[in-house]
Structure 1
Amino acid sequence: MIDLTLDVQRASHCTNLPSDEKIRTWVINALSGRKDEAELAVRIVDEEESQALNAQYRGKDKPTNVLSFQADFPAELNLPLLGDLVICAPVVEKEAEQQNKTTEAHWAHMLVHGTLHLLGYDHIKDNDAEIMERLETGLMTHLGFADPYTPLDEAG
């Protein structure tokens, strides 16, 4: 069992947001076998806040689906704090529609994806992207969702 301390902050005007229980389930799924104890915050925002953070920290002046901010402590402190995820609800909703996915499936994917980033996984290099995508696909299918990387014309 994973000892998870989760702080969910809702700063979005969107109403179709996942419950804290679902967010916890998706995060625990991504942590399973990787961490026994973890602490993280999930902040659900609208486009303006996402765009401001994306511009400030990534130099991209547009809203994005998920931003991950790893905690930056010396390893010898051995703290369970992983960091923060900022998820833009309107972007998640738009992407789910564009990708022909349920909103719930896309929310689950963004939580899994962001949590893996907090654990140190990345997708900048092709090899790392393949590893991360395989891991995400396995985690998503374990949760009962389809492969999040299946192209629309193959999704059925």
Structure 2
Amino acid sequence: MSELVETLIEDARWKDVGLAALAEVAARNTLVHRSLNPDHFAISLMGCDDARIMTLNNDFREKPKPTNVLSWPSEDRAAATPGTHPNPPHIGPMPPEELGDIAIAYETCLAEAEAASKQISAHVTHLIVHATLHLLGYDHISDADAALMEGLEVEILASMGQPDPYS
């Protein structure tokens, strides 16, 4: 079994959370749930702080504020019709196929977890599932897309023994 998620830790506090291991499990479970072999794909993850993610959020989304997680799919995989599943990613002749990049911010994730009375590990697991679905072409711009994506998140997390993050 090859490593699916290559993790770069910019903020050392992520080591105490076990970000690399959490991300590997969450991303693998997401791909398996979508009937994709995790050994055929690769994801890059950066564990950073709010200052770094604020810069990225401003540069890529023109939103000069921190956020919990950002994702950059390696290609546009969005479904043509809202509320429908996107086409699965193409597997090239030389796997692993790069799905994209994810950045996750420590302070925002910790604050959100504490505000929801959740363990940070559970919240981070949810956010990695969420971001991996973005890499696969899912989104939550329309109500139909949001309902599909949130439903998948709940199913994937339940398969991992995690509670419904929306209840």
Q: TM-score range by the shorter chain?
A: 0.7 to 0.9
Give identity over the alignment, percent: 32
**How many angstroms apart in 2 are the aligned matches of 1:127 and 1:113?**
16
Contact 1:18 1:107 in 2 (8 A): no
Secondary structure at the counterpart of residue 118 of structure 2: coil
Of 55, 60, 64, the residue aligned with 2:58 is: 55
Determine if the alignment matches structure 1 residue 143 to structure 2 residue 160.
Answer: yes
Of 66, 69, 81, the residue aligned with 1:66 is: 69
In structure 1, runs of 5+ residues without a counterpart are 151-156
Deviation at 1:22, TM superposition (A): 2.6
- Structure with the bigger RCO (C-alpha within 8 Å, sep 6+) is 2
Deviation at 1:4, TM superposition (A): 4.6
Change (3 A) 1:50 1:128: same
Structure 1 counterpart of 2:27, one-letter code: V
Aligned-residue CA RMSD in angstroms?
2.0
**How many angstroms apart in 2 are the aligned matches of 1:5 and 1:97?**
29
Determine if the alignment matches structure 1 residue 46 to structure 2 residue 61.
Answer: no
Determine if the alignment matches structure 1 residue 11 to structure 2 residue 10.
Answer: yes
Q: Where has structure 1 moved over 4 Å in runs of 4 or more?
A: none
TM-score (norm 1): 0.87
**How many angstroms apart in 2 are the aligned matches of 1:76 and 1:83?**
13
Contact 1:13 1:46 in 2 (8 A): no
Secondary structure at the counterpart of residue 64 of structure 1: coil
The farther-off stretch of 95-104 and 8-17 is 8-17
**How many angstroms apart in 2 are the aligned matches of 1:142 and 1:148?**
13
Secondary structure at the counterpart of residue 81 of structure 1: strand
Deviation at 1:20, TM superposition (A): 2.4
**How many angstroms apart in 2 are the aligned matches of 1:141 and 1:113?**
14
Q: Equivalences for 1:118-137 in 2 at 5 Å?
A: 118-137=135-154
Deviation at 1:50, TM superposition (A): 0.2
Q: Please list the CA deviations of residues 74-104 of structure 1 after superposition, one character each: whole Å capped at 9, or x if unmatched.
A: x888361100000001111100011121111
**How many angstroms apart in 1 are the aligned matches of 2:152 and 2:91?**
28
